[in-house]
Chain A
Amino acid sequence: MEAILTKPQATQLKVSGAEAVIRSLIAENARLIFGYPGGAIMPVYDALYHFQEDVRHVLTRHEQGAIHAAQGYARVTGEVGVVMATSGPGATNLITGIADAMIDSTPLVCITGQVGSHLLGTDAFQETDIISISMPVTKWNHQVTKAEDLPAALAKAFYIARSGRPGPVLIDITKDAQFAEFDFEYKKCQQVRSYKPVPKVAIDQVSKAAELINEAQRPLILFGQGVILGNAEEEFRALVEKTGIPSASTLLGLSALASEHPLNVGMLGMHGNYGPNKLTNECDVLIAIGMRFDDRVTGNLDNYAKQAKVIHFDIDPSEINKNVEVDVAVIGDCKESLNELAKLVNLNSHPNWLDKFRQHDAIEKETVISNELNPSEGDIKMGEVIEQINQITDGDAVLVTDVGQHQMIACRYMKFNKSKSNITSGGLGTMGFCLPAALGAKLGAPKREVVAVIGDGGFQMTIQELGTIFQTQAAVKVVVLNNSFLGMVRQWQQLFFDKRYSSTELINPDFIAIAKGYGIAAKSIDDRGDLQQAIHDMLAFEGSYLLEVKVGKEDNVFPMVPTGASVSDIRLS
């Protein structure tokens, strides 16, 4: 805050609406923001010019890049990500990222410029009704037409974005509100009358959950990102260790519990591990914590865990009974509820039941994993690339992925020691997410190794952000797993559409030349013999680095729960 003190005091001071935006960001300690200027947001950018020492603005190459970078920043730090864009196309280019943040519960404050209030509704140049457009994909949004309303609107925006189940908020500011001057005063928002972000934990529900858990013979925990968002990793681990219950992660729950933890039985879902999928239909008590029974996790709901009593911990009451009918619901902050639960559960272990998971692991290892991680012939496999990264990072790196085969492989095989280490587009499945999100993650956690693993398709959706990586000199390590296909769609075409490869083959450019054009060190390999050294060189390199690995063109991701099938019908080949 020292920098503010060198400037006029922030309380009771005549400033423009534009300057009020920047002072509000400082008051919320948002010191790193992402964005792209344009006509209707220019006054704010002008104010930013005077506060460059207080707020660092990263100029991306596209507004979609800016918002994904803000998401990467938010996911790695746990703080609110901030993105700014101009009106019209600037604002609409944010929509994909907003929808992504909404479905993956990422706290964001999006600030968009708007045409002057006297022009609203006239189809003015670069006018678009971003409030209506963004309404279904924001947790809250609000248009400000008067400068004096800005501090309260921004305070409310930050409060809503970060509290309860986090999500994206959009504040649209007309240009006249940016110019007008008023007496600035900032008060942090503490509550909103109509909004109850953290429902009180009902202790009787916790007791009922504890009873079921204590009587269970074959309990299974499913944990999701809620554990991370609730800062409840320690409480969760304590519960798992006391009860001895095998615990499986959703895609977004990865890294909430160390990969190598003896009770971590792997990943759920369509391309998750064999054991937790199969045994979901054999457990007697299913304990879901901070997860939302996504269809990619449950498969066919008619055959999902029908034999089990289901307990659901979630902060969002609307998630209870949304997809799966539950027997006990514990609504509220899981940091609190898990802590209470841990007091009521018995010290226990389930060696025979846990052994079943290990038996399934052995089958999966023999039929799928060994050949993926340690193949001896043929093209390089995606899995062995991840395995080589593991050899060096040993679970300490942040993995950022895009969407598709490479994502499933990377998330399946990457080792995590530390929470907030897996950043991926889960619910929305947004191709193009990875590269800018990795940039945002690296800027948010500069001391951590950030490895972006991207497919050749998704890479080209936001490839222009190499320019932002170059300009910021953020030392992101980018691994492009290039199979010259939109691999996941091709896999489905092979399995379900008789190999009709309709519009999935990519004729790719020279990625190395492109990286070099952006001043980024790069190398391409296609020989297994070069893999270990190439990964080593990439990770040892001081700055950003792009490694293209040409992998098998028609490799598939297994295991797989085909769409519409039950989790227990998971295929190994």
Chain B
Amino acid sequence: MKQNFTISIFTENSIGLLSRITSVITKRHLNIESLNTSESGIDGIHRFTIVVEAEEPLVVKLVKQIEKQVEVIQAIYHQDEETVFQEIALYKVSTEKASEDNLVEKLIRDNNARILSMEQDFMIIEKTGHKEETQELLEFLRPYGLIEFVRSGRVSVMKPNNELYNEY
């Protein structure tokens, strides 16, 4: 059965590694649902968080082939239940339309969203959450003059301890 898997990859910080990792996935004709890269919290070690929708046996193979890359220190995968994860979404909406009634304000309260910036023409709303949650707000805001929308890749922390943090 296909489902979402989060692949966490700890690597050296070297040029081109992103391409080397994604090519393992594209080679299998698989789409990347989301991707995030950042420092890992361990000095000099970089972290990739990649979400794919696939069947587990295939994910096992992908992870092994990613870990095989010379500059990859560790690659592990988790199902959604095994991680705490978030995405951040930014919404740019027309100030005028959004102010027409109090719905937007109510919605922001209900959704734990916040206003990052308010200009004469537009305002920027921020919401973090799972994709379904940020998507829900997106659908709601559409009629209120949505000008622009962007959603980040998933960042994810695994619930089980990772021994890598003890090694380095």
Interface residues, chain A, with chain B CB atoms under 8 Å away: 131-132, 135-136, 139-141, 143, 160, 192-195, 316-318, 320-322
Contact = CB atoms under 8 A, between A and B. Distances in A.
Interface stretch (B67-75, B112-120, B126-134, B154-162): B67-75
Given A318-B61, A321-B57, 9 more contacts: A135-B16, A135-B20, A135-B23, A136-B27, A140-B71, A160-B70, A193-B73, A194-B11, A194-B72
B16 A131 contact: yes
B65 interface: yes
Contact of A132 (B16, B57, B65, B71): B16
Nearest to B44: A193
Nearest to B15: A143
Interface in B45-76: 57, 60-61, 64-65, 67-68, 70-73
A559 to B, nearest CB: 31
A376 to B, nearest CB: 51
B148 interface: no
B165 to A, nearest CB: 15
B19 interface: yes
Contacts of A140: 70-71
Contacts of A316: 68
B64 A317 contact: yes
A132 B19 CA distance: 8
B72 A322 contact: no
B27 A318 contact: no
A193 B64 contact: no
21 contacts: A131-B15, A131-B16, A132-B16, A135-B19, A136-B20, A136-B27, A139-B70, A140-B70, A160-B70, A193-B73, A194-B11, A194-B12, A194-B70, A194-B71, A316-B68, A317-B64, A317-B68, A318-B65, A318-B67, A321-B57, A321-B61
Interface string B116-159: 00000000000000000000000000000000000000000000
Contacts of B19: 132, 135
Contacts of B11: 194
Interface string B1-29: 00000000001100110011001000100
A173 to B, nearest CB: 15
Contacts of B12: 193-194
A192 B68 contact: no
A439 B2 CA distance: 50
B129 to A, nearest CB: 34
Nearest to B26: A136
A318 B61 CA distance: 7
Contact of B64 (A132, A160, A318): A318
A137 to B, nearest CB: 10
A316 B19 CA distance: 22
Contact of B23 (A131, A136, A193, A322): A136
B39 to A, nearest CB: 15
A132 B23 CA distance: 10
Contacts of A322: 61
B153 to A, nearest CB: 22
Nearest to B10: A194
A320 B64 CA distance: 9
A301 to B, nearest CB: 13
A27 B23 CA distance: 34
A508 B98 CA distance: 78
A143 B15 CA distance: 9
Given A135-B16, A318-B61, A318-B64, A195 B23 contact: no
Contact of A195 (B16, B20, B57, B70): B70
A193 B73 CA distance: 8
A195 B74 CA distance: 10
Contacts of B20: 135-136
Contacts of A195: 70-71
Nearest to B64: A318
Nearest to A137: B23
A444 to B, nearest CB: 26
Contacts of A318: 61, 64-65, 67-68
Contacts of B57: 321
Contacts of A131: 15-16
Contacts of B27: 136
Nearest to B61: A322
A318 B60 CA distance: 9
Contacts of A317: 64, 67-68
A379 B82 CA distance: 68
Nearest to A195: B70
A194 B73 contact: yes
Contacts of B72: 194
A136 B27 CA distance: 9
B124 to A, nearest CB: 34
Contacts of B15: 131, 143
A304 to B, nearest CB: 16
Q: Which 7 A/B pairs are nearest by Cβ-Cβ distance? A: A318-B64, A194-B73, A140-B70, A136-B23, A195-B70, A318-B68, A318-B65
Contacts of B70: 139-140, 160, 192, 194-195
A135 to B, nearest CB: 5
A317 B72 CA distance: 14
Contacts of A160: 70
A219 B73 CA distance: 38
A321 B20 CA distance: 22
Contacts of A136: 20, 23, 27
B30 to A, nearest CB: 15
Contacts of A194: 11-12, 70-73
* Interface-centre pick from A131, A193, A194 (highest chain B CB count, 10 A): A194
A141 B20 CA distance: 10
Nearest to A140: B70
A193 B72 CA distance: 9
A194 B72 CA distance: 6
A192 B73 CA distance: 10
A283 to B, nearest CB: 24
Nearest to A167: B70
Contacts of A132: 16, 19
B155 to A, nearest CB: 22
A322 B65 CA distance: 10
A152 B64 CA distance: 27
B73 A321 contact: no
A401 B12 CA distance: 40
A317 B65 CA distance: 9
Contacts of B64: 317-318, 320
Nearest to B73: A194
A322 B28 CA distance: 13
A357 to B, nearest CB: 33
A321 B57 CA distance: 9
